[in-house]
Structure 1
Amino acid sequence: MSGKTTKKTAARKTTANEKTATVAKKPAARRVAKKAAKPSKAAARSSDPMSASERIDQKIASLGDWRGERLAEIRKLIHEVDPEVVEDWKWMGTPVWSHDGMYVLANPFKGKVKMTFFHGAQLPDPKKLFNADLKGGKWRAIDLREGDKLDTTALKALLRAAVDYNTTHSVPKSKGSRA
């Protein structure tokens, strides 16, 4: 026995980790095949002839209450401040406005319309319009409830600052439609 190796000690043992790794590879390959066969959501949307501006019109009309009126008012102010604005429809129902990148979106909720500024943390807000609970390093928002008085002068200044920020900084570009 001094110079001989037995088959038991010479054979390499398969560890539990190696067994798991081998088993995990097979389902992953099947998942990739399923994804390739299924058309993407983007492909489905691209066949839809309705433009982003038309979708926003439709959203405003479908609300039929103060939220639709408020969304229309916000949209009008955005176009007054930025005649070159690009309207987009993202995330399955969110109006987004861009100029050299996305700068604001507006979502109607049950009791409010929320305006979210993509780079709001970098914008001056002397009139303290940002009132939503977004305290991160990037986004800021304004919650507008029924009956709230909109300070259009301050909001226009905030919108101008957002457009200025986008034109002077490199931000992701949107592929929306011109309104």
Structure 2
Amino acid sequence: MQKDGVQGEKSPSELIGARIEELGDWRGETLARLRALIRQAAPEAVETWKWRGVPVWEDAGMICTGETYKAVVKLTFARGAALPDPNKLFNSSLEGNTRRAIDFKEGDTINADALKALVREAVTLNRSKTKR
């Protein structure tokens, strides 16, 4: 676990795994499931650990963050406002011009196919911006 801004010898992936274990409840299970779906959709994505404890997935830029709160696990897409969302997954942070988020509450069902499509769209958008 990170202390005073120092990660020690653990990799970001190990830190994310430790966070999932540390939660030990539905939030950990949800974060683990979201992590697995992100990895399936974007196998080249890199896991990072930022802002003293936030899991981040990146591919040619930030794809999304996975924050855990008491009542929700929040998956925030850095450029979500620019992504198509035909399945209406975004249900949080809708007012801004850039980010969009999905709040998962205890017992919510994850639409795996729609989420993976959204992750792939985010990667495509990131990569299109780096080619300019």
Match of 2:127 among 149, 156, 167: 167
The TM-score with structure 2 as length reference comes to 0.92
Unaligned runs of 5+ in 1: 1-40, 171-179
Q: Deviations over 1:47-99 (max 9, x none)?
A: x2111001000000000000000000000001101111100000001000000
What amino acid is aligned across from residue 104 of structure 1 in structure 2?
C
Task: Give the match for residue 154 of structure 1.
Answer: 114
Task: Give the match for residue 12 of structure 2.
Answer: 52
Taking the aligned partners of 2:101 and 2:81, their CA distance within structure 1 comes to 10
Q: Deviations over 1:98-153 (max 9, x none)?
A: 00111100101001100000000000000110001331110000000001111111
Map residues 1-179 of structure 1 onto 2, 5 A cutoff.
45=6, 48-170=8-130
> The residue matched to 2:76 in structure 1 has which SS?
strand
Q: Which has the higher strand share?
A: 2
> The residue matched to 1:73 in structure 2 has which SS?
helix
Task: Give the match for residue 9 of structure 1.
Answer: none
Structure with greater Cα Rg: 1
Taking the aligned partners of 1:51 and 1:149, their CA distance within structure 2 comes to 30
Runs ≥4 residues deviating over 6 A = none
| Number of equivalenced pairs | 128
> The residue matched to 1:75 in structure 2 has which SS?
helix
What amino acid is aligned across from residue 155 of structure 1 in structure 2?
L
